[in-house]
Each structure stands twice: as C-alpha cells, then as structure tokens.
Amino acid sequence: MTHATTDAPGLGTVLREWGRIGCIGFGGPPTHIALLRALCVERRKWLSEREFEDAIAACNLLPGPASTQLAIFCAWRVRGRAGALVGGAAFIVPGLIVILALAALFLTGSPPLWVRGAGAGAGAAVAAVAVHAGAGLLPAGWKRAKTTGRLRWGAYLGLGVVAAATLGPWLVLVLLGCGAVELAVHRKRTSLLALPVGTAAAGAGVFLSVAWVALKVGALSYGGGFVIIPLMQHDAVDHYHWMTGGQFLNAVALGQITPGPVVQTVAVVGYAAAGLAGGLLASAVAFTPSFLFILLGARHFDRLRGNPSVRAFLDGAGPAAVGAILGSAIPLALSLDRPWQYAVLAGAAILLLALKRGVVPTLLIAAAAGSALALLGVGLPG
C-alpha cells in the first residue's frame, strides 16, 4: 500500500471529514467502518474497495481499538503521517469531550434523582450489550474455525469465557496463551517460522496508576473494547477503589451511547480516579499505541497479514477474545444490586438478541426506564 494519493486532500479536509465521523459515529465499530467506507471508498474514492478491506483485516490483527486504528490508517493513507495525527485526533476528541462532560454529571457531587436512575438503568443493560457484541462475532469465527479445528476453537472460546468471568487482570495471559498454543500446533503441522517477536489534587501515584490501566486498555485489547472490561473493572472497582460497581456500569454505558471509540470508557475511569486531568491522561495513554502502530507499522501491513505465523497466533487468540467478550457479561451482571435492574437487563436482552434492535436505542430505553423508576421511588444502587 502506498501512503498517499495523487489528489491527496488538505489537512483541513481531513480535520473536517474525520471530525464529522467523530461527532456522528454512534453505535461503535460497525458504524465507524460504514462511515469511513462511505467517505474514503464511495464518495471521495481515496481508497479502492480492496485497499479498504485489507485495512480492516490488518487493523484487526493489532491490539487496541480496531475502528480507531482504521480511522487513523485511512487518514494516513490519504495524507501521510500528518493526516494520521490530525484525522485520528479529530475522530477521538468529540467523543472524549462528550464522555467527560457526562462523567462530571454522573460522578461529581449529587446528580438529580432522574440522572442517577438513568445511569442505573443504562448500566443494567450493559451485560446484554456484551452478549450481543460477542454473539455478533460468533458466525464469522465459526466459519474460520475450519482452519483452527472446531474442537480447539471451542476450547479457546470456552477458556475466554471462563477467564473473563473469573481472572480479571490475568485475562490477557489466557488470550496470549491460546494464541501461543495454536501457533505451536501450526508450527508442528507446517514447520513454519515462529511468530516475531479521584480528584484534581490526586498525587503522582494515582496518575501513574491511571496511566498503567489506560496502557493495558490501549495495548492489550484484542478483539474489541469489551475484552478489556473485566480488566478495567478489576482495577477501577476492586483494586484501586476509584469507583463503585454501579459507577463502573455507568462508565461502560456512557462509552456505548457516546460517539466515537467505545474505548473512551477508560476516560470515565480516569475521571473517577483523578478528575479531569485523570480523564484526559487516561484517554491520551489508551490511544497512543494505536497512533504508534499506524505511524510506525502501516507500510508493513501487507506483510503482517500474509505471515502464516501471525495468522496462526490469531486463530487461537481470536476465539478466546470472543469468549472473553461473552464472559464479561457475568461480572457485569453480578455488579447489579437492585432487583429491578435485572428486569431491565432481561428487557435489554430481548430487544438486542430477539428483536434485533440497535445498541444505542436499547441503552436509551433502559436509561429512560431507570429514570422513570427512580422518580417512582424505587431504590437506586449505592
């Protein structure tokens, strides 16, 4: 792939077009991919259809938020490194502003009763969203399992479910282990080469902890944003005690209903730990690996995709990541502490899985239900 076209747009065009997608990109990666395709392939013809599909595949091979990396890559492809920096920032910043404003509303002081109810309602639906996200990846993964072997694919999937439900911060070791096992099987079979290698006054220690959590989110989230939810939940709720379980569910819900990358959830975690500075730090650290992967490695994407050892590793890590997305629903559901929240969760599952409604409308309905119930006097999570 070359990194620029003969009719490369100006940086102002990149800022405007990628910023527009950052403002209207509700609904997560499927929406982001559709908007980027409409812009770069169909409307402006900066990339061919094959180049765009190759870019999607290459970004899915990388850790971190794939749709963000795709946005950065497309900007790199049409305007080089400067375009990647401008386009990536324009894609990320609108959602960051919105989610930090909402974090201030939900986490600071005593928000109104209806706001607390809306958060509790939307948070109750998050476990269903996780199942919906994982279920959407199962058909394509099962089709690719012909390469891996159906039995091993199922084992990797099951290990991912169990690890997400029980291991918290050690989940990533299971993902890497499944990839390593499949790579070993591949090498034995084909003899190919191995895979190459809380407040604004928070102290420096809190900021270092926020940066460490955000780095894990940005550098280890194979398979989508939900893979790192058990890890974030363990750090933010159980280890550092920056948030309650209910507040963490609110954070995940906010990441789903705001535009731009779902990984922005980490900004809410950072805000809970160290105020606005913590939220900005968390976002900057979480997205830095994505920029580095594209700026330093985009020209090598074709070779990466064609490496059989890389493919074998991901044949193991991929189904484990899907299992982790499904398994993340378990600790999320266990975080609910009001009976009515389970009713909202059941309703959200029906809307998403049976009636095939979208994630954003479902979360908004759940939020409205929670708000109405709060005003009627039902108990809210502490």
Residues recorded for the chain: 382
* C-alpha–C-alpha distance, residues 294 and 30, integer Å: 20
> 């049409």: which residue's tokens?
78
Cβ within 8 Å of residue 174, ≥6 positions away: 159, 160, 163, 167, 320, 324
Residue range 292-307, pLDDT digits in tens: 999 998 888 767 766 7
- DSSP single-letter state for residue 245: H
* C-alpha–C-alpha distance, residues 27 and 208, integer Å: 31
The pLDDT confidence band at residue 56, using thresholds 50, 70 and 90, is confident
For residues 359 and 195, the model is more confident at 359
Residue range 63-112, pLDDT digits in tens: 788 889 999 999 999 999 999 999 999 999 999 999 999 898 888 767 88
Q: Which of 34-38, 94-98, 115-119, 298-302 has the highest mean pLDDT?
A: 94-98
pTM: 0.76
- DSSP single-letter state for residue 244: -
As a whole number, mean pLDDT of residues 357-367 equals 87
Dihedral sign computed on CA atoms, order 318, 319, 325, 331: negative
Q: What DSSP line would sit under 112-157, residue for residue?
A: -HHHHHHHHHHHHTHHHHHHHHHHHHHHHHHHHHHHH-HHHHHHHH
Reply yes or no on whether the pLDDT at 221 is more than 60.
yes
Give me the pLDDT at residue 266, please.
Answer: 93
Residue range 125-149, pLDDT digits in tens: 888 888 887 887 788 778 878 767 8
